[in-house]
Structure 1
Amino acid sequence: MHTLTRRHFGLAAASTLLIPAAARAATWREITWDDLVPPGVPFAEVIGQGELDEANDTWRPIFDENGVMLNTALDGLQIKMPGYITPLDMGADGLTEFLLVPYLGACIHVPPPPPNQLVFVTTQTPWPSDDIWDAIWVYGTLTAQLQTTALAEIGYTLAADRIEVYAWE
């Protein structure tokens, strides 16, 4: 019979520190766009004409109060979600900041979805700029917090640990 000594226990515990946090993380919770709306809250509706910014070629719709209601139960969770890219910060190596949106073309010369249907994604590993038209999976830590940008009001932030092309099955 082998007895676990303090030394063996310490070595085993220390070895887990060498494994990256993303690899140690529990399984990713797969969420959908519907999950971003709190349970029992109907989807937002446009309730007015909005504001046209001709200089920047954008239109900001006015949503009812449901559009800014966030599902705070998701705050801080390690999630995996699908979506499409609306580029924000594109460098020579690719994208490091983008909006994850529920449908292709959202926020590009069309009214953006409500804030609770927009996710601001940041990544340390740039996503290739020639792959912005594909559906993707984004894995990372989700934060529920409203923020206003020049493009739209955004309900969520996702610090991406991994991004991959969505495989249609």
Structure 2
Amino acid sequence: MLRFLLLITMGMTTLLLSQASLSNDANSQYTTIDWTDLIPEHDLEALKNPPAYLDEIEDGSEADQLSGQLSSDQFADKDDPYQRALASTDIKAEYNNQLVRVSGFIVPLEFDDEQVVTRFFFVPFFGACIHVPPPPPNQIIYSKFDKGIQLKVLYDPFWIEGKLVTELIENSVAKSAYTMEVHNIEPYTEPPSQSN
């Protein structure tokens, strides 16, 4: 399950953001970032190089099923860099108070009778915090959007733009190492490809 979770996280991030640019769009005040930009290098290296024992866990086995029921805090074996990275609240301080644009999925936390969502976790892949254990806290953005967005389905990806802050937020669903005061939300579309 851990191996599956890592593959989903990295695969969806790559798929969704393969065309994203790290530089500012000429017409935008927001810097487009990739989810991996929010992970400190030591955590990213640990996640890219999972320990060999994960290969020994058979898909569908009891160990695999148990790992799917654990929260990221329960992964935090202090002697294992990979397990530490799964629960890491380490952040990239250079993104504090920056205007950024990132794509991902909405996990609703607060909404009204009309399903207008005003508080949500923004995550890199569909099903995070719902069907599988949450991503590492440095891969979750607690988002506030007072205007709200009416969600018809949970599996649609979005772009969000706003001011990113390095602030730890925890609730019964998950823990995030970043927050954002969201200025704009729009349906995800592939960014224009850059010609060389």
Q: When the two structures are superposed, what TM-score results if normalisation uses the length of structure 2?
A: 0.62
2:110 to 89, 94, 102: 89
Report the Cα distance in structure 1 between the residues aligned to 2:97 and 2:169, rounded to whole angstroms.
16
Q: Within the alignment, does 1:60 sit opposite 2:71 as a pair?
A: yes
How big is the alpha-carbon RMSD for the aligned residues of Structure 1 and Structure 2?
2.3
Per the TM alignment, residue 139 of structure 1 is displaced from its structure 2 partner at its CA by 0.5
Equivalent in the alignment of 1:76: 97
Q: Percent identity?
A: 29
Per the TM alignment, residue 108 of structure 1 is displaced from its structure 2 partner at its CA by 0.4
Equivalent residues, number = 135
Equivalent in the alignment of 1:143: 165
Q: Which amino acid aligns with 1:100?
A: F
* Unpaired segments ≥5 residues, structure 2: 1-27, 52-62, 77-82, 192-196
Q: When the two structures are superposed, what TM-score results if normalisation uses the length of structure 1?
A: 0.71
Q: Which stretches of structure 1, 4 residues or more, deviate above 6 A after TM superposition? A: none
Considering only CA atoms, is the larger Rg found in Structure 1 or Structure 2? 1
Per the TM alignment, residue 131 of structure 1 is displaced from its structure 2 partner at its CA by 4.5
* Unpaired segments ≥5 residues, structure 1: 1-25, 53-57
Equivalent in the alignment of 1:23: none
Which of the pair is proportionally richer in strand? Answer: 1
Equivalent in the alignment of 1:36: 38
Q: Is the 8 A contact 1:59 1:110 kept in 2?
A: no
Q: Is the 8 A contact 1:90 1:129 kept in 2?
A: no
